[in-house]
């Protein structure tokens, strides 16, 4: 399941202030079912988007209120909130980074300490989203980065397997 705050027009933590109590039920249910929940973070340029809802800091509440919920933070808050995203990834054991929609050439620019969180990074392409050449191109672009072999194995395979185990 993906929560998409910039297009659904609510914050990912909108249950906290009572604006959207159903979110609490959704997170609680996903937590019980061990179902990962992907939350979009970062800006969106598609019609109708309100990018203010893309600030990943809202996940700070969700991660604490639902400690067993598996949260997949999509796009790492790119391009404005990558520092916030990195903080949250280190702060919360139940938050994992999905790197879809981050151009491979930008990944280490926006997450220069990626190796430190290599056990919490999952590959995604965002294909067939606009501007994404293809899954093969994304894989090749990522594979060309100066990362350790063990990091590639984690990003391309084992971290995702852990997430759905």
Binding interface with Zn ion (CB under 5 A)? 40, 74
Rg (the chain; Cα; Å): 15
Instruction: Pull the structure tokens for residue 34.
Output: 């061990």
Instruction: Pull the structure tokens for residue 9.
Output: 């027009």
CB-wise, 74 or 117, nearer to Zn ion?
74
d(CA 125, CA 141): 11
Nearest approach in angstroms of CB 9 to Zn ion is 15
**Which residues touch 37 (CB under 8 Å, ≥6 apart)?**
1, 2, 3, 26, 27, 30, 69, 70, 71, 72
Nearest approach in angstroms of CB 83 to Zn ion is 19
Nearest approach in angstroms of CB 97 to Zn ion is 13
CB-wise, 111 or 147, nearer to Zn ion?
111
Nearest approach in angstroms of CB 149 to Zn ion is 29
CB-wise, 5 or 159, nearer to Zn ion?
5
Angle at 48 between CA 45 and CA 53, to 5 degrees: 75
CB-wise, 75 or 147, nearer to Zn ion?
75
With CB atoms as reference, the residue minimizing the distance to Zn ion is 40
């Amino acid at each position: 399941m993906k929560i998409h705050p910039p297009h659904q027009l609510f914050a990912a933590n909108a249950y906290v202030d009572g604006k959207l109590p159903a979110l609490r039920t959704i997170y609680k249910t996903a937590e019980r079912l061990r179902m990962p929940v992907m939350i979009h973070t970062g800006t969106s340029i598609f019609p109708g988007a309100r990018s203010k809802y893309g600030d990943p800091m809202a996940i700070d509440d969700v991660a604490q209120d639902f400690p067993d919920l598996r949260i997949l933070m999509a796009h790492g808050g790119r391009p404005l909130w990558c520092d916030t995203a990195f903080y949250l990834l280190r702060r919360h054991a139940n938050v994992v980074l999905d790197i879809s929609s981050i151009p491979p050439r930008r990944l280490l620019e926006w997450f220069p300490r990626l190796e430190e969180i290599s056990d919490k990074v999952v590959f995604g392409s965002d294909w067939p989203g606009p501007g994404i050449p293809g899954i093969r191109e994304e894989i090749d672009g990522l594979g060309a980065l100066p990362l350790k072999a063990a990091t590639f194995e984690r990003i391309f395979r084992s971290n995702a397997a852990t997430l759905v185990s």
